[in-house]
Structure 1
Amino acid sequence: MTALPLGGMTPLSSLRKYFWKYRVRFIVGTLFVVFSNYFAVLAPQITGFVVNLVQQRLPGARPVASKPVHDVLVHRFITWVQSAQFSFGWLIAVCSLTILLLAILRGIFMFFMRQTIIVMSRHIEYDQKNEIFKHYQRLDTNFYKTHSTGDLMNRMTEDVSRVRMYTGPAIMYLINLVTLIGFCVMNMLRKDVSLTLYVLAPLPLLAITIYFVNSIINKKSERIQALLSDLTTNAQESYSGIRVIKSFVQEKAMLGFFTRNSEAYKKNAVSLARVEAIYFPSMALMIGLSTLVTILIGGVQALHDSSKIGLIVEFVIYINMLTFPVSAIGWTASMIQRASASQRRINEFLLTEPTIANLPEAQQVKVSGDIVFDAVNFIYPHTGINAVKQFSLRITKGEKVLVLGRTGSGKTTLAQLLLRFYDPQEGKITIGGNDIRTMDLKSFRDQVSYVQQDVFLFSDTVRDNISFGLASPASEERVTEAAAFASVHKEIQGFAKGYETMIGERGVTLSGGQKQRISIARALIKNPEIVVFDDCLSAVDAKTEHVIIGNLYRYLHDKTAIIITHRIFSSFPFHKIVVLDNGELLEMGSHEELMAANGYYAELYRLQLTEEKAEV
């Protein structure tokens, strides 16, 4: 497994493909934002016009010294109402209705703005979760041995959720504040350049504050997400291992462990909240200063030019309109920083390439069953343990091979190398003369069944668990036949809903023996060319084991089978018996040959025979 470098890319730049995919929604949503804010900035100009009209009718009013500058639409509206010769009351009413109409138009475009951009973010969230899940399934076994399930889940849920806040609300508010500030500042500059500069003077202080606070938020956000992953992992392991916790009476200890993790998360989250709390008072202070400057300087100007009264009203409205977008700068920047931290964590996995993958020359090959281990040497990359040492073995199509050995002798490693969960550092494994590294992984594994030592069943029906490895739903006859071969059919019929019985998480509602036999049925229903059983009968009694062995002998008559176990199945006539010790081939031969050699196998066989006689 290799991690690709991020290079000079910012984490959020990896989202460009999604914005391009939904570019129509994004562009239309941006236009809705522009239209919404355009209609918003027209209302203050009409308000200023009305205020000037009222001021001119007051006793002692001075003549207007300068002609106000208006937007094109506002200018046409004012020209129209003046030419219509409305009475003063009707003129005020028409202007009021126009302001109401502008507010309605702004609201309509705001609705469509959210319907396009926020919905777009939900589509991106859906695509991103699918992309992550698909990539998780590509990653190899070693990856899952070095990463916790809780962390994997957290990156798909919490991190993707934070990224969605960027692709939706943050983008929307960013476009909104840029366009609204742009329109407001443009109109203010057209009215009075000097007053605009005075009003906007406090804003550079705001920009400096945002820059420094954002850097702090980014660091704290990454730390919080890492702590949340630890917390999720702790909870997930506690739920999965609840029976072990209860049996060892460790509820208090696990609660203490969870509390410590939760406390660390809380402290960092509170610390981040305190930093973010600097934003909003800062915004309110800067807006308050701008409003104060507007009234102060505008009031002085109004003493010399009465037309400035309407201007002051316009500027105060503009400043108040800027209150939310300017205050949203902090909120938006915070969402962007958090999304950047989360996307960086997501990219760590998305940019990780599995070491076990199809080579460019990989082809779909019909598996024949002729297996050759040629001087295979394998060291686990995450522990450095040399599990298999210069191992060689030839298995002819249709042969049944028993692999024996003590715990840690490398038996399971052989099975995982054969299924290509790992690649050996030295030597090679061939099937039908083809190196398995040149075979298409999906096609190859479709033709091989593997019953793992650690049985895993899904939270689904018995039927669906048995037919899990099939591309299409299996017939009733095929499912029951596989269950019968695994000697579990009669027990399934005894369940309340038979094959439609729901199995609890990881098969918790079943006994250990039932889980093993259902997993055997799941392997047999595929009708594979090669079957690998890895200590899959450890939880069944001797009588049931004898029945299953007899069924397997009939089922496997024309198939290649490798059975890995700690016990000797004396009733099953194996073509070869392989004995491993510390990753090396200790003994190999038929039952008669190994008994004559009087080595480890013979000793184990006599010991097992003695135990069976004692049980009888």
Structure 2
Amino acid sequence: MNDSAKADVSESQGVSNWATYKRLLAYVKPFWLAFSLAVLGNVIYAAASTGMAAAMEYVIEAIENPTEQNRILLTLLIVGVFAFRGVGTFLSQYFISYVGRQVINALRNQVFDRLMSLPSRYFDDNASGRLVSKLTFNVEQVAEATTNAVTITLREGLTILGLLGFMLYTNWKLTVVFLAVGPIIGLVVNYASKRFRRISKRIQGSMGDITHVASESISGYRVVRTFGGEDYERERFRDVSERNLKQSLKMASTQAISVPVIQVLVALAIAALVWTMLAPEIRGEMSTGELIAFITAATTMAKPIRQVTSVHAKIQKGVAAAHDVFGTMDEEPEHDGGTYSPTRVNGDITFDDVSFRYRDQLDDVLTGISVDIPAGQSVALVGRSGSGKSTMVSLLPRFYEYTGGDIRIDGHSLKEFTLQALRAQIALVTQNVVLFNDTIASNIAYGALRHCSREEIREAAAKAHALEFIDRMPGGLDTMIGDNGVMLSGGQRQRLAIARALLKNAPILILDEATSALDTESERHIQEALETVMQGRTTLVIAHRLSTIEKADRILVMDGGQIVESGRHDELLAADGAYAQLHQMQFSEQA
């Protein structure tokens, strides 16, 4: 890349960094009063620090002329300056922390709100651990940039300005000597800040990896232990942790080198100052007290200069984190352009020449799917793994958008419905039951079902044959079931999912391998419960075990993303085609 191209890239990065920082500061706006008090505190702090240096003149005079009045004045001056500075410190630190925590809270809520509205593909593309890291680690980094960095910049920046003003007022020639080192400090800061930003991005990535690996290993601990994966997981965790350590040490070394380099430069400036000061033509008419006050101001400035230059690391960390956080917030939410919002549909479903392909894939996963399902009919989808059954039912609640043809419910295209109204018509029971670390009752009456009464919850549990184990639990319906229902067996978890679907009482029911986790005894119970729940509802059933779907009104046999056979159980057996083959294979396996 040539120099002009490099310059363009760095310029555009600078612009985008400034735009990101401006967007970040917008979050401070609602808390302007607290922020103003913090600024006032910083002004008081800076005034007190400048006052300390200026007071050195009176200290020298009082030492040279120790009258009673000077003793009292000097004592009061010392106490007064420190008390004044203490008030400034409290105002600046408390109120900037208040603003910081409010910004973190607002950002976290906004990121979480956006995650709740993003399409399925976003979660397919991003590991859950990394998304959790955005909400925890990255948002904290962002707040550092908006609050601590602003405090230090204001407090120490105002202190530098105050001290410089005092030095210029005392002797401008000496001040010019001291300022000669400024441009060199600027170059050091510029180099360090670019490096900070680069390393910060890598640190955030590695923190995401750490939460990702840790959450996978913790949630999958049974598989890890059964298959002897402890050493592999330890190795994986050590690798990502090591990467994080390396990047953090690079950050620390850059910070550790840049700060003393700047201090040495300031010390050189002070040394040049002292050397020049002792020349009679420069010193002029300055008294000893003025000289001491001037040197005190120059040396006092070393700390704020160091602080202001080290704040760059915080700002660069924050800007790198903000790019990532805003990246998630700017993701396109699920497209919800429909306006049709019926209270309850009849449940007539039409697939009209539907095709679908996942993003970045060349081949269609589904092609030419056409089928009419009248309201109240039960349709079973069977076929080998990967034939497109689950994909087909995922299109109904619009977890994915079909790429060709149309799907209609009661003659209305899915795209006409609002997403909320569409999903309110569908109850879903999948093979991978999702339960929450809450009570049994809260898991059955989840989300929009929270208003349901205890009687309704008990009735749904009874129909799903779940009461027999719920009533044996120590707290009954109020028993906490642990993370993802870890206290329950597979069959019990499945029955809670079925109770949830029953309670929803939706006109369309999707059962994706709903009885796969059950033993034969439970399956018989559940089969009866499902027959109850399927009455008067349009039901799409995906099943591997063909014995569970023999009573379906219609069976669709899928292969390679297409419907290859359609009919009732006995018709399809008589046709001696793909279904008969599948049936034969299962029958011989069972035998």
Both proteins in one fold, TM over 0.5: yes
User: What corresponds to 2:489 in structure 1?
Assistant: 511
User: What corresponds to 2:342 in structure 1?
Assistant: 365
- Paired residues of 2:431 and 2:517 also in contact (CA < 8 A): no
Mapped to 2, the partners of 1:400 and 1:235 lie a distance apart of 43
Mapped to 2, the partners of 1:105 and 1:50 lie a distance apart of 18
- Paired residues of 2:25 and 2:146 also in contact (CA < 8 A): no
- Give the length in aligned residue pairs: 577
1:320 correspondence with 2:299:
yes
CA drift at 1:338: 0.8
User: What corresponds to 1:487 in structure 2?
Assistant: 465
1:76-126 per-position Cα deviation (integer Å, ceiling 9, x unaligned) = xxxxxxxxxxx9221232133023212201211220111211110100001
User: What corresponds to 1:335 in structure 2?
Assistant: 314
CA drift at 1:429: 0.9
TM-score by length of 2: 0.92
Mapped to 2, the partners of 1:383 and 1:497 lie a distance apart of 49
Q: Does the C-alpha gap of structure 1 residues 254 and 236 become closer, same or farther in structure 2, counting only changes over 3 Å?
A: same
User: What corresponds to 1:172 in structure 2?
Assistant: 151
Mapped to 2, the partners of 1:43 and 1:407 lie a distance apart of 79
Query: Partner letter of residue 538 of structure 1?
Result: S
Which sections of structure 1, spanning at least 5 residues, go unmatched? 58-86
Q: The residue matched to 1:185 in structure 2 has which SS? A: helix
Q: The residue matched to 1:9 in structure 2 has which SS? A: helix
CA drift at 1:159: 0.9
- Paired residues of 2:356 and 2:367 also in contact (CA < 8 A): yes
Point out the structure with max Rg over C-alpha.
1
User: What corresponds to 1:82 in structure 2?
Assistant: none
Query: Partner letter of residue 205 of structure 1?
Result: I
- Paired residues of 1:376 and 1:429 also in contact (CA < 8 A): yes
CA drift at 1:305: 5.3
- Paired residues of 1:405 and 1:411 also in contact (CA < 8 A): yes
- Paired residues of 2:340 and 2:418 also in contact (CA < 8 A): yes
1:476 correspondence with 2:483:
no
Correspondences of 1:561-576 after superposition (within 5 Å): 561-569=539-547, 573-576=551-554
1:218 correspondence with 2:197:
yes
> 2:24 pairs with 9, 15, 26, which one?
15
Query: Partner letter of residue 82 of structure 2?
Result: A
Q: Which stretch of the first structure deviates more once superposed, 464-473 or 191-200?
A: 464-473
Query: Partner letter of residue 252 of structure 1?
Result: D
Q: Which stretch of the first structure deviates more once superposed, 36-45 or 385-394?
A: 36-45
User: What corresponds to 1:84 in structure 2?
Assistant: none
1:232-270 per-position Cα deviation (integer Å, ceiling 9, x unaligned) = 211221112211111111211221222222222222221
User: What corresponds to 1:76 in structure 2?
Assistant: none
1:158-195 per-position Cα deviation (integer Å, ceiling 9, x unaligned) = 11111111111111101112211111111211111001
> 1:455 pairs with 426, 430, 433, which one?
433
Mapped to 1, the partners of 2:282 and 2:93 lie a distance apart of 44
User: What corresponds to 2:105 in structure 1?
Assistant: 126
- Paired residues of 1:125 and 1:161 also in contact (CA < 8 A): yes
1:565-586 per-position Cα deviation (integer Å, ceiling 9, x unaligned) = 1123467632222111111011
Q: Does the C-alpha gap of structure 1 residues 389 and 7 become closer, same or farther in structure 2, counting only changes over 3 Å?
A: farther
Aligned alpha-carbon RMSD (Å) = 2.3
Query: Partner letter of residue 433 of structure 2?
Result: V
TM-score by length of 1: 0.88
Query: Partner letter of residue 453 of structure 1?
Result: Q
CA drift at 1:559: 1.6
- Paired residues of 1:129 and 1:156 also in contact (CA < 8 A): yes
CA drift at 1:9: 3.3
CA drift at 1:590: 2.5
Q: Which stretch of the first structure deviates more once superposed, 231-240 or 567-576?
A: 567-576
Q: What's the % identity of the aligned pairs?
A: 29
Q: The residue matched to 2:546 in structure 1 has which SS? A: coil
CA drift at 1:540: 0.8
CA drift at 1:370: 1.1
> 1:548 pairs with 526, 545, 553, which one?
526
User: What corresponds to 2:167 in structure 1?
Assistant: 188
1:32 correspondence with 2:41:
yes
1:14-33 per-position Cα deviation (integer Å, ceiling 9, x unaligned) = 21331222222222321221
Query: Partner letter of residue 387 of structure 1?
Result: V
Q: Does the C-alpha gap of structure 1 residues 304 and 531 become closer, same or farther in structure 2, counting only changes over 3 Å?
A: closer
User: What corresponds to 2:251 in structure 1?
Assistant: 272
Q: Does the C-alpha gap of structure 1 residues 564 and 309 become closer, same or farther in structure 2, counting only changes over 3 Å?
A: same
Q: The residue matched to 1:470 in structure 2 has which SS? A: helix
Q: Which stretch of the first structure deviates more once superposed, 182-191 or 345-354?
A: 345-354
- Paired residues of 1:118 and 1:168 also in contact (CA < 8 A): yes
1:467 correspondence with 2:445:
yes
> 2:356 pairs with 349, 374, 378, which one?
378
Mapped to 2, the partners of 1:7 and 1:519 lie a distance apart of 52
> 1:251 pairs with 211, 220, 230, which one?
230
Mapped to 2, the partners of 1:131 and 1:220 lie a distance apart of 26
- Paired residues of 2:491 and 2:522 also in contact (CA < 8 A): no
Query: Partner letter of residue 429 of structure 1?
Result: I
Correspondences of 1:418-433 after superposition (within 5 Å): 418-433=396-411
User: What corresponds to 1:348 in structure 2?
Assistant: 327
- Paired residues of 1:398 and 1:557 also in contact (CA < 8 A): yes
User: What corresponds to 2:93 in structure 1?
Assistant: 114
Mapped to 1, the partners of 2:13 and 2:383 lie a distance apart of 45
Q: Does the C-alpha gap of structure 1 residues 384 and 201 become closer, same or farther in structure 2, counting only changes over 3 Å?
A: same
Q: Does the C-alpha gap of structure 1 residues 51 and 611 become closer, same or farther in structure 2, counting only changes over 3 Å?
A: closer
Correspondences of 1:1-80 after superposition (within 5 Å): 8-10=15-17, 11-52=20-61, 54-55=63-64
CA drift at 1:384: 4.4
- Paired residues of 2:390 and 2:542 also in contact (CA < 8 A): yes
- Paired residues of 2:53 and 2:300 also in contact (CA < 8 A): no
Q: Which stretch of the first structure deviates more once superposed, 402-411 or 305-314?
A: 305-314
Mapped to 1, the partners of 2:96 and 2:68 lie a distance apart of 42
CA drift at 1:152: 0.8
Q: Which stretch of the first structure deviates more once superposed, 252-261 or 173-182?
A: 252-261
> 1:163 pairs with 142, 151, 160, which one?
142
Mapped to 1, the partners of 2:449 and 2:471 lie a distance apart of 25
1:486-536 per-position Cα deviation (integer Å, ceiling 9, x unaligned) = 222101222232222222222222222112111111111111111111001
CA drift at 1:558: 1.6
1:393 correspondence with 2:374:
no
Q: Does the C-alpha gap of structure 1 residues 283 and 95 become closer, same or farther in structure 2, counting only changes over 3 Å?
A: same
Correspondences of 1:402-417 after superposition (within 5 Å): 402-417=380-395
CA drift at 1:311: 1.7
